[in-house]
Structure 1
Amino acid sequence: MAKPLITAGMGSVPSPDGVTFRVWAPHAEHVSVIGSFNNWDGAAHPMDSEPRGFWSICVEGASIGDHYKYQLATPWGVINRIDPYAREVTNSVGNAIIHNPDFDWEHDDFSMQSWNELVIYELHVGTFNDHDLKQPGRFNSITTRLDHLKRLGINAIQVMPVGQFAGQRSWGYNPSHIFAVDTDYGGSLGFKRFIKRAHQVGIGVILDVVFNHFGPSDLDLWRFDGWSENDKGGIYFYNDDRAQTPWGQTRPDYGRGEVRQYILDNVRMWLEEYHLDGLRFDSTGYIRNIGDAGTEEIPDGWSILQAINETVARHYPGRITIAEDLRSNDWLTKDVGAGGAGFGSQWDPHFVQPIRQAVIATRDEDRALGAVREAILYRYNDDAFERVIYSESHDDVANGQSRIPQDVNQADPTGWYAQKRSTLAAAMVFTAPGIPMLFQGQEFLEGGWFRDTVPVDWDQRQEFRGIVRLYRDLIHLRLDREGRSRGLCGQFTQVFHVDTDRSVLAFHRWDRGGPGDDVVVIANLSHQPQENYVVGFPASEAWNLRFNSDWHGYSECFDGYPSADVAAVSGEWDGFPYHGSFGVGPYSVLIYSQ
C-alpha cells in the first residue's frame, strides 16, 4: 500500500523548477512570500488564492538554504509569519529556511524488536551528554554514548521533544514549530544522522511529540492570519473554553480539518522522513479532556488520537505509539475498530507510584506489599505489554520529586540505603511484566532532580561501574540473552507469595513454561536478611540462581549475602507441588530459573 504524502506540498517544496510555497490563511486578503531570494519585497511574489483559504506560488529564483516568511495582508493589518510547515528555522522567532529533504539513509531497513523484547532508555538531548555548559548538548553528543547504551542492553531510545522551542534550554514541551528540529540540538540533519547511527548499532528511536498544546511562547501560529474569536488564538486553536490547558490557551482545534491534517502530517513526517520507530504522545489526557478531572470530554480529541493510530497501523506497521495519559484507561490501547484510541502501549502509573513509595518509605512496615503485588500484576486489556513500566522518568524525578537515591537518603544519595533500595526498584522494573524503561543516568545512580540546565554526571559511570553492571545483568536476563530466562519476556505472571510480616514477595514469570522459560523472582523488602526462607516452586530439582542484587561485585558496600541455588523438593507450598529454602540479603532480589 502506498504511503500518504504530506498534504499537497504544504510549506516550501524544492523542485527543478524552483520552490513551491503553500500556506493556509483563510482570513488573509492577500499573501506574499518574502525572503532572501527577493530582498524581502512583499510585492515581488504575490501568492495565488486557492479554495478553502489556501495560497500558493512557485518561485523560480528561490533555492535550498534561502530564508523566507509569509507576508499576510489582513483586515487587522500587515503581518509576517514563519511557515507553519517549516522543516528548518533560524530560531523560534527568526526565519523559515528552505529545507533540503534529501538524506542518504544507506538503505536503512532497521526493524525494531517486538514489543515484549523492548528495553527503552528515555533521554533529554540537552543534558544527556553536555560537556559545554554554555550551550545544550547536541545529537552528535548522544551518538558518542551509543556504545554505552548498546553494552547496557538498551534497544530503544526515547528522546524527549526536539521540535523547535523558545529559548536555548527547555524540556521540549513548549513547541513553537512542530515540523522544525531545534537548531541548538543540531537541526534536521543532526537528528537524521543520529537516528541512522542508532539504527546501525541496533537501537531504535522513539520520539516524544506534543499535540495537547502548542507554545505558548514564540508561537507564530497564534492568530496566524490575524483572526481570532473571543480574544483567543485564531485558526489553529479552539476559540472557546476548550482552548484552556495548564500551559495556556493553546489547545489545537482537533475538529477543524486543516488542523487535524497539520497534526497527521507531522506524524507522517517523523515516521517517514526521519525513519523513527515510534512516537510517545505527551499528556493525551489533555487531548481528550479539558480539565484535570477528566470529566469534560473533547470528542474531537479522541477522534484525532484514533486517526493518528489508524494512520500508523495502516501505513507504518511495526512502529509503536505510546500514550502518556496516566488516567488508567483500557480504551487507550484498545483497537480503534472496537472504539479504542489504538495506542500500542501506555505509561503505567499503577506501577511507578507503588514501586517508588515502597522503596522510598523509611520504615519497613510502611512498604505496602499488597500495592507492590498489584503493581506487578496490573495490565491493560489483559496484555502485559500494553504498559510501559519504570521507576524513574522525566516527570517522576522533577516537579518536587528527586531521583530515587536522593529520595531514599537526602544526606547520602550514593550510600548503602540509596544503592540497595534504588536497585531493588530497578529489579522490579526488569522482572515485572511490561515494557521496561530507564531514565538517563539511572544506571549509575544519577542524583538530585532533573533540570534542563544540569547535565548528566558521566563521571559516576566509572565510580559506580558495579551498579552499571547490575543494570546490564538485569537487562540481559530480561531479554533472555543466554537462553535461560525466557519467561521474563512472556505474558504470564503469578504473584504466589506475599509475606507482609517479613516483607518478602515472590512471583513466577513464564511464556510457555519449562526449563529455560520458568523464572521465579524473590524480593526482600526488609532491611534484615532472611535465612532458611521457604517458598514454593513450580517444578522440582535444581533451580539455578541467575541474579543476586546483593552480590559484592555490584558494589563494595553490598554485603554479598551468600544466596545459592535451590533444590526444590516435593511438598505443597504456596499452591505449588514443590518448595525450596534459600537465604536472601537485605533489600535484595534473587532471580531463579532452570
Structure 2
Amino acid sequence: MGSILHPNGVAFRVWAPNADRVSVIGSFNNWNGGASPMASESNGFWYLDIPQLQAGAEYKYLIATPGKQIERIDPYAREVTHSVGNAVVHDPSFDWQGDDFAIAPWNELIIYELHVGTFNDQNNDDTSGKFSSISARLAYLKKLGINAIQVMPIGEFAGERSWGYNPAHIFSVEKAYGGPLAFKQFIKQAHSHGIAVILDVVYNHFGPSDLDLWQFDGWSEGDRGGIYFYNDDRSHTPWGETRPDYGREEVRQYIVDNILMWLGEYHIDGLRFDCTQFIRTVNGFEDRNLPDGWSLLQRINLEISQRFPGKITIAEDLQNNKWVTKDIGAGGAGFGCQWDPMFVHPIRRAVITTVDEQRSLHAVGDAITYRYNDDAFDRVIYSESHDEVANGQARVPQEISPNNPKDWYAQKRSTLAAAMIFTAPGIPMLFQGQEFLESGWFRDTVPVDWEQRHEFFGIVRLYRDLIRLRRNLDGFSRGLSGQFTQVFHLNENQKMIAFHRWEQGGEKDDVVVVANFANEPRYNYILGLPAEGFWALRFNSDWQGYSNIFGNFPSTDTRAESGGYDNFPWHGLVSIGPYSVLIFSR
C-alpha cells in the first residue's frame, strides 16, 4: 500500500472504493490529473506503476467522485512535507548493520517516558526539540540506569508542537522532530547504549484536525467520517467523531500494517497503546463493549507475538481490567503489561496528603501487592506520567509543596514515592525530569529544566542507586526483580510498612524494604524478618549525600534473632528517619 519504491520506479496503491477515478498527481507530472491515471483493482483498490520515478518526489491522490474532485494525502505516506502538505515518496532503506539489540527481560526493565519536543529542547526560538537532541542525553540516561525509553507519539500531527495524541498521518514521522531518517538514527544510537525504544501509538481515534482520512473518497453517512471511520454513534470519542471502523477489514489491516512498520522497518522494541478502553468499548466503560475493537487488539498481539517475539506491548487501559493482560488463548487481549492505576493513585495520595494521620498505609500495601494475573510484571508502576502531571494535576513535588516544590517535604515525600516504584513488583517508569525534581506541570511548550540536574545531583544519585538495586547490578538484591512479595508489617497508627521481595529466596536474593510514611523518626523499631542472621543496609533515603537538607539519620545494618514477630520466627531492630525508606538484603 502507498508509494512502493522499487529499482525501476515507484508503484502506488490506494483504497478508495467509492471513487469513479483516481490519479496520482505530483511534482513529476506538474500536478496534472490526467497524466497518471490509476487502474481499478478488485475490492476498491487502485494501482499505478510509474517507471523511473525516484524517492523524494512529492505526490497526492486526485479522487474523482460524482460532482467533484478531491485531493488527498496518501493514508500510507511514510513521509509528508507537513500535516496539510504533500506526501513524499520515501526510501525506507537504512543501514541497521550491527544493530543486534534485544530488549531486556521485562522484570529487569526501567522505563523512562519522554516527549521529544520538550525533553532536551535547547533552542531559544519557537521550534521544538528533535530526535538528535534526545541522542545527546543517551549517555546520561544509561548512567542513570535506564534501559528503555518510551517516546510519546511521533506520528505527524497538526502544527509544530503537540503531545502527539492527535495523529494526522500515522505512518509518517513528525517533521518537526526530524522525520523518519532521524528517528531511525536515534533508535540505532539508543540500542548502541543498551536502551530499548518503546513507541506510544494512538488507534482509539485519529486527528481530529488536518485529517485527510476524513471522508477520504467522498463517501460518508451524513456528516460522518467515511470509509476509515464508524459512520454511526460508535464514531464518538472524547477527542472527536474519529474512531476508526475496527470492523472493516481494510481499516483493521491499515492499523496492523502501521504496527508492523514500526516493529519491522524501525526496529522498535515495543509499543504502548493509548487509551485501549476506547478501542474495546464504545464509551470507555464495560456497559457498552465494542467486539470489533477487542478482536482487533487480540489480532494485533497475536501477530506481534508470532512475527516479533520478545517485543513488549503495553496497554493504557486504566479500568483495572485483568483480561487486558490475560493470554489470548484464555480469552484475553494478550498485552504484555498495562499501566496500573491501582498503584499510581494510592501512592500519589499517600505522599501528597499533608496530614500524616490521613495517609492510608493499607492503600499503600494494596498498591504494592496488586496483581492483574499470575505475573508480577504485567503492570507498569509509576508516580508521574504525561497524564498524571497535567490535566489539572502537577508534578509530585509541586503537589506536595505548591509554594516551594524544592523544600524538605517535597524532596522527602517525592523520593518516598520513588522508592516504592523501584521496590514494588512491576515494571518501574519515570517521567522526564522526575529524577531531578522537575516541578510545575507538563506542557508541550515548556522544556525540561536541565539546570536542575546539577542543582539536585544528589537526588539524581538517589534514583540511580534505587535503579542499581532494582536491576541487581551489584549482585545482592535479586529479589527486587523477583515474582514474590509479602507485606508482613503494616502499622497504620505509626505509618510504618515493611515488605519482603524475593525470587528464589536465600542470600543475595531476599530483600526487605522498610518505609516510614510519618514526619517523625522511629528508634529501635521491632520488625519480623524472613530469615535469621545478618541483614545489610543497602539504601537509606535519608542519607545527606542525596540532599544537604536531609537528616542523615543513623540507620544501620540489623540482625534477625530468634523470637517470633510479624508471623516470622525471627525479629530485628531498625531505626529510620522521617519520610524515609531503608532497603536491606542478606
TM-score > 0.5 by shorter chain: yes
- Residue 384 of structure 1 contacts residue 433 of structure 1 at CA under 8 Å; is this kept in 2? yes
Aligned to 2:13: 22
Gaps of 5+ in 1: 1-9
Counterpart AA for 1:400: G
TM-score (norm 1): 0.98
Q: Which deviations, in whole Å up to 9, do the C-alpha atoms of 1:454-489 show, x marking residues without a partner?
A: 000000000000000000000000000011000000
Residue 62 of structure 2 aligns to a residue in which SS?
Answer: strand
1:357 equivalenced with 2:349 (yes/no): yes
Cα separation, 2, equivalents of 1:361 and 1:338: 40
Partner of 1:80: 71
2:152 is aligned with what amino acid?
Answer: M
Which of 433, 440, 447 is the matching residue for 2:425? Answer: 433
Report the 3-state secondary structure (helix = DSSP H, G, I; strand = E; otherwise coil) of the residue aligned with 1:554.
coil
Question: Is 1:564 the equivalent of 2:556?
Answer: yes
* Superposition deviation, residue 582 in structure 1: 1.4
| CA drift at 1:17 | 1.7
SS at match of 1:192: helix
Equivalent residue number for residue 33 of structure 2: 42
- Helix, strand or coil for the counterpart of 2:526? strand
Distance 1:289 1:257 in 2: 19
Q: RMSD in angstroms over aligned alpha carbons?
A: 0.6
CA distance in 1, matches of 2:122, 2:463: 25
Asked if 1 retains the 8 angstrom alpha-carbon contact of 2:277 and 2:285, the reply is no
Distance 2:402 2:292 in 1: 45
The answer to whether 1:303 aligns with 2:295 is yes
Q: Report the CA distance between 1:233 and its aligned residue.
A: 0.1
Query: What are the residue-to-residue correspondences of 1:467-486 with 2, within 5 Å?
Result: 467-486=459-478
Matches of 1:149 and 1:111, distance apart in 2: 18
> Counterpart of 1:84 in structure 2: which amino acid?
P
Partner residue of 2:44? 53
Distance 1:507 1:539 in 2: 13
**Residue in structure 1 matched with residue 517 of structure 2 by the alignment:** 525
Could you tell me whether the CA contact under 8 Å between 1:37 and 1:61 is conserved in 2? no
Q: Distance in 2 between matches of 1:545 and 1:109?
A: 38
- Alpha-carbon separation, structure 2, partners of 1:292 and 1:108: 40
Sequence identity, in percent? Answer: 67
Tell me the matched-pair count.
585
The residue type paired with residue 346 of structure 1 is Q
**What is the CA distance between 1:107 and its match in structure 2?**
3.2
Contact 1:120 1:156 in 2 (8 A): yes
Shift of 1:495: 0.2
Distance in 2 separating the partners of 1:230 and 1:494: 58
2:117 counterpart of 1:112: no
State yes or no: 1:143 paired with 2:141.
Answer: no
Displacement of 1:491 in angstroms is 0.3
Q: Distance in 2 between matches of 1:502 and 1:296?
A: 44
352, 371, 374: which is aligned to 1:379?
371
Which consecutive residues of structure 2, in runs of 5 or more, have no partner in the other structure? none
Give the structure 1 partner of residue 161 of structure 2.
169
Normalised by the length of structure 2, the TM-score is 0.99
Q: Are the counterparts in 2 of residues 484 and 517 from structure 1 also a CA contact under 8 Å? A: yes
- Structure 1 residues 389-404: aligned runs within 5 Å: 389-404=381-396
User: 1:388-433, CA deviations, whole angstroms, 9 ceiling, x for partnerless residues?
Assistant: 0000000000000000000000011001000000000000000000
What secondary structure is seen at the aligned counterpart in 1 of 2:377?
helix
Instruction: List per-residue Cα deviations over 1:465-522 (Å, max 9, x = no partner).
Output: 0000000000000000011000000000000000011100000000000010000000
Question: Does residue 262 of the first structure (1) align with residue 254 of the second (2)?
Answer: yes
Partner in structure 2 of residue 129 of structure 1 = 120
Moved over 3 A (4+): none
Report whether the alignment pairs 1:291 with 2:283. yes
Answer whether contact 1:42 1:71 (CA < 8 A) is retained. Answer: yes
**Alignment correspondent of 2:80:** 89
- Looking at structure 1, the residues matched to 66 and 243 of structure 2 have their Cα atoms a distance apart, in angstroms, of 25
Shift of 1:16: 1.7
Establish whether residue 66 from structure 1 lines up as the match of residue 57 from structure 2: yes
Tell me how far apart the structure 2 counterparts of residues 167 and 231 of structure 1 sit (CA, whole Å).
Answer: 25
1:202 aligns with 2:202: no
Give distance in 1, aligned partners of 2:485 and 2:317: 25
Hey, what's the Cα distance between the residues in 2 that align with 1:554 and 1:51?
A: 67
Deviation at 1:66, TM superposition (A): 0.6
Paired residue for 1:422, among 411, 414, 419?
A: 414
1:99 aligned residue (68, 82, 90): 90
Shift of 1:199: 0.3
Q: Does 1:240 align with 2:240?
A: no
Equivalent position to 1:253, from 245, 248, 253: 245
Displacement after TM superposition at 1:61 (Å): 4.0
Q: CA deviation at 1:293?
A: 3.1
